[in-house]
């Protein structure tokens, strides 16, 4: 079977390949930040459309996971990067030619572009042939490149390039400038004057001295005086330049289309791996999740929010990992506990993990099993929207209603602190009703709330609680633990902080 694409195994199966617009839930889950960071500096490859397109079939996810695993080999990844860098330069040269005036100058850069392309392809083929790749995608591509490198078209291109380059490298000339007058002739063994001057005074040298060479601006481009000199150099070496002319005419449409597409698509993997490398360096785990369509038992050990981790890493702050699992009938995490304790982060992490898994990417965590959903719906409170409380409550209900209408049992819903500005009694009743609807749908859900009692609504709900350091509630652990919602521990820790516990008071009050 021939090679088609490194992102999609089959040629045409009706799968949507690229999406231009940002999925709705991206901002709530901070996936927009993540994708921005992943694709930063790679705008030229237009990678975002790939990241906006979750896969819907397990096979393609496996196809990508295999490829990604292969690329985790650092040597192979380095080879791919080297290839990409060369291709970047090739494109830069070709683009530059469009802006140049003088023919010999254009021809010179065309030759550079072809040379770097030949080198890129040949090195890649060589490197792939020696690597122990096992993925279907890379193996098929390796076969393709090997064949291409052997083809007449490519071998002729490479040989011609080398010949013309060699000829040009023999050109060495002298320019004498006196007043307005310029002489150009072949170089005839004149000695290097700077070296001689330097040698004369070397005896006084005490150490390194300042470099007085002025950075004369080296502009790509050529002024008409340089162009005139080049034309005269061409007259000094007529054969060399006629070869060059012929070469350019012959190899006009040189980059191979499949190679070009591969160069873009492979960046999906490179970009992702490069992004997660720094987290791995910081000791954070990543794993290839088992992605399922049947059964809604999911788990992740030591997961974390990839967007938040990025910020914390930059601030050199510690990053807290959390575990979760849903078993049997369990479908819904009800997250409660002190504020700023990592509840929202937990919800985001749950969403991010599922989305990243659906792209075929490794996810934060030591081991994970995740559900291949048909859609993610989020309802996150936006504080700045609180202008009209009644309008807001209405708005919340309209939105949540729309979500529940659209969602199927294979969807994921993430709800973060709705009704927080509603009267407590209303909030309790409404939350309970909505949660009951979600339970009926039998879908996976994270429900962040300040209403403890929701946690024990049924067998489907699992209570998760954000925690604080015992004795110092001001210090968050950012650990979200699976345990009954229970305000008491929190109250006691506040007492401890002020040393108002029994023991604390015994110590403080002198007898």
Partner 1 sequence: MKAFLMYRNRDFDPQQPLPPNEEALRQDLELDTLFEAMAQEDAFLSKIVKKAVLSGENDLEVIRYRQHVLKDCLHKPEVVREIYDITVQSHDNKKKHWLGIFTRYPGGILSSAIGMLEMFVGLLKKLRRIAGESAGKFESEGFTRFFAMITQELDDAYFSVVENHLHDLKFRDGVLLSAELGPGNEGAHYVLRKPNQSGRGWMKRVFSKKAPVYSFSIPRRDDSGARALGKLKDRGINLAANALAQSADHIDCFFNMLRVELAFYIGCLNLYGQLARIQAPITFPVPAASGERRHHFTGLYDVCLALTLQKSVVGNAINADDKDLVIITGANQGGKSTFLRSIGLAQLMMQCGMFVPAESFGANVCSGFFTHYRREEDASMQSGKLDEELGRMNEIVSRITLDSIVLFNESFAATNEREGSEIARQIVSALVEKGIKVFFVTHFYEFAHGFFEQGRPNIMFLRAERRADGVRTFKLTPGEPLPTSYGEDLYRTIFEGGRGAACAPGAKSRKYRNTSGV
Nearest distance, CB of residue 194 and partner 1, angstroms? 4
Question: Could you say whether residue 171 binds partner 1 (CB under 8 A)?
Answer: yes
Nearest distance, CB of residue 113 and partner 1, angstroms? 10
Nearest to 6 by CA among 84, 60, 47, 87: 60
Nearest distance, CB of residue 84 and partner 1, angstroms? 20
For 418, phi then psi, to 5°, come to: -80, 160
Q: How far is 185 from 343, CA to CA, in rounded Å?
A: 77
Which residues 72-111 are close enough to bind partner 1 by CB under 8 A? 93, 104-105, 107-109
Question: Could you say whether residue 174 binds partner 1 (CB under 8 A)?
Answer: yes
Nearest distance, CB of residue 93 and partner 1, angstroms? 8
Q: Residue 313: how many CB atoms within 10 A of its CB?
A: 16
Smaller CB separation from partner 1, 186 or 260 = 186
Question: Could you say whether residue 173 binds partner 1 (CB under 8 A)?
Answer: yes
Nearest distance, CB of residue 189 and partner 1, angstroms? 7
3-state secondary structure of 269: helix
Nearest distance, CB of residue 240 and partner 1, angstroms? 9
Q: Are the beta carbons of 411 and 376 closer than 8 angstroms?
A: yes
Q: Half-sphere exposure of residue 494, counting CA atoms within 13 Å on the CB side?
A: 5
**Of the candidates 98, 152, 180, 384, which one interacts with partner 1 according to CB under 8 A?**
180
Q: How far is 504 from 506, CA to CA, in rounded Å?
A: 5
Q: How far is 401 from 396, CA to CA, in rounded Å?
A: 8
- Alpha-carbon separation of residue 364 from 66, 350, 360, 479 (angstroms): 17, 10, 13, 16
Nearest to 354 by CA among 378, 342, 372, 329: 372
Which residues 223-242 are close enough to bind partner 1 by CB under 8 A? 223-226, 228-230, 232-233, 235-236
> How many of the chain's residues bind partner 1 (CB under 8 A)?
65
Stretch of residues binding partner 1 (CB under 8 A), selected from 65-73, 185-193, 361-369, 389-397:
185-193
Question: Could you say whether residue 277 binds partner 1 (CB under 8 A)?
Answer: no
**Of the candidates 1, 98, 204, 316, which one interacts with partner 1 according to CB under 8 A?**
204
Q: Are the beta carbons of 160 and 243 closer than 8 angstroms?
A: no
Nearest distance, CB of residue 95 and partner 1, angstroms? 13
Nearest to 401 by CA among 457, 345, 441, 373: 441
Question: Could you say whether residue 148 binds partner 1 (CB under 8 A)?
Answer: no
Largest CA distance in the chain: 108
Nearest distance, CB of residue 205 and partner 1, angstroms? 5
Q: How far is 216 from 294, CA to CA, in rounded Å?
A: 67
Smaller CB separation from partner 1, 174 or 424 = 174
Strand stretches in 388-460, DSSP E:
411-416, 444-448
Q: What x-and-dash track marks residues 107-136 binding partner 1 by CB under 8 A? A: xxx--x------------------------
Smaller CB separation from partner 1, 210 or 506 = 210
Smaller CB separation from partner 1, 170 or 511 = 170
Q: Three-state secondary structure along 222-252? A: CCHHHHHHHHHHHHHCHHHHHHHHHHHHHCC
Nearest distance, CB of residue 166 and partner 1, angstroms? 12
**Of the candidates 99, 203, 294, 316, which one interacts with partner 1 according to CB under 8 A?**
203
> Residues near 230 by Cβ (< 8 Å), separated by ≥ 6?
102, 104, 105, 222
Stretch of residues binding partner 1 (CB under 8 A), selected from 48-56, 201-209, 373-381, 503-511:
201-209
Which residues 36-75 are close enough to bind partner 1 by CB under 8 A? none
Residues of this chain that interact with partner 1 (CB under 8 A) are 93, 104-105, 107-109, 112, 168-169, 171-198, 200-207, 209-214, 216, 220, 222-226, 228-230, 232-233, 235-236
């Amino acid at each position: 079977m021939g090679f088609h694409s490194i992102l999609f195994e089959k040629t045409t199966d009706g799968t949507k390949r690229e999406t231009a617009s940002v999925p709705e839930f991206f901002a709530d889950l901070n996936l927009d930040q993540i994708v921005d960071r992943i694709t930063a500096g790679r705008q030229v490859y237009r990678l975002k459309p790939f990241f906006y397109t979750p896969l819907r079939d397990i096979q393609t996810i496996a196809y990508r996971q295999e490829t990604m695993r292969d690329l985790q080999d650092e040597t192979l990844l380095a080879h791919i990067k080297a290839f990409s860098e060369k291709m970047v330069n090739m494109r830069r040269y070709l683009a530059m030619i469009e802006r140049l005036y003088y023919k010999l100058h254009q021809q010179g850069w065309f030759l550079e572009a072809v040379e770097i392309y030949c080198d890129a392809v040949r090195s890649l083929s060589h490197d792939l042939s020696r690597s122990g790749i096992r993925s279907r995608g890379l193996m098929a591509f390796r076969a393709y490149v090997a064949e291409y490198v052997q083809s007449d078209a490519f071998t002729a291109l490479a040989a011609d390039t080398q010949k013309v380059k060699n000829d040009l490298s023999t050109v060495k000339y002298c320019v004498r400038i006196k007043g307005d007058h310029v002489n150009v002739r072949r170089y005839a063994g004149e000695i290097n004057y700077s070296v001689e001057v330097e040698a004369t005074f070397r005896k006084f040298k005490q150490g390194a001295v300042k470099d007085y060479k002025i950075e004369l601006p080296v502009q790509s481009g050529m002024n008409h005086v340089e162009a005139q000199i080049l034309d005269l150099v061409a007259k000094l070496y007529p054969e060399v330049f006629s070869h060059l002319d012929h070469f350019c005419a012959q190899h006009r449409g040189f980059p191979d289309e499949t190679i070009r597409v591969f160069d873009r698509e492979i960046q999906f993997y490179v970009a992702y791996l490069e992004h997660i490398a720094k987290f791995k360096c910081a000791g954070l785990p990543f794993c290839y999740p088992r992605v399922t369509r049947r059964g809604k038992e999911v788990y992740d050990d030591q997961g974390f929010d990839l967007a938040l981790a990025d910020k914390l890493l930059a601030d050199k702050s510690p990053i807290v990992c959390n575990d979760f699992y849903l078993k049997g009938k369990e479908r819904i995490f009800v997250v409660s506990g002190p504020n700023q304790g990592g509840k929202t982060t937990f919800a985001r992490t749950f969403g991010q993990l599922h989305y990243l898994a659906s792209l075929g990417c490794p996810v934060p965590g030591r081991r994970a099993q995740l559900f291949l959903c048909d859609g993610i719906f989020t309802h996150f409170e936006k504080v700045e929207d609180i202008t009209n409380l009644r309008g807001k409550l209405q708005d919340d209900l309209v939105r949540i209603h729309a979500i529940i209408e659209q969602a199927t049992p294979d969807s994921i819903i993430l709800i973060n602190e709705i009704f927080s500005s509603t009267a407590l009694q209303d909030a309790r009743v409404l939350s309970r009703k909505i949660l009951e609807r979600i339970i009926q749908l039998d879908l996976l859900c994270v429900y962040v709330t300040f209403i403890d009692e929701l946690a024990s609504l049924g067998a489907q709900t699992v209570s998760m609680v954000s925690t604080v350091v015992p004795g110092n509630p001001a210090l968050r652990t950012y650990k979200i633990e699976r345990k009954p919602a229970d305000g008491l521990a929190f109250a006691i820790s506040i007492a401890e902080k002020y040393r108002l516990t029994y023991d604390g008071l015994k110590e403080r009050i002198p007898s």
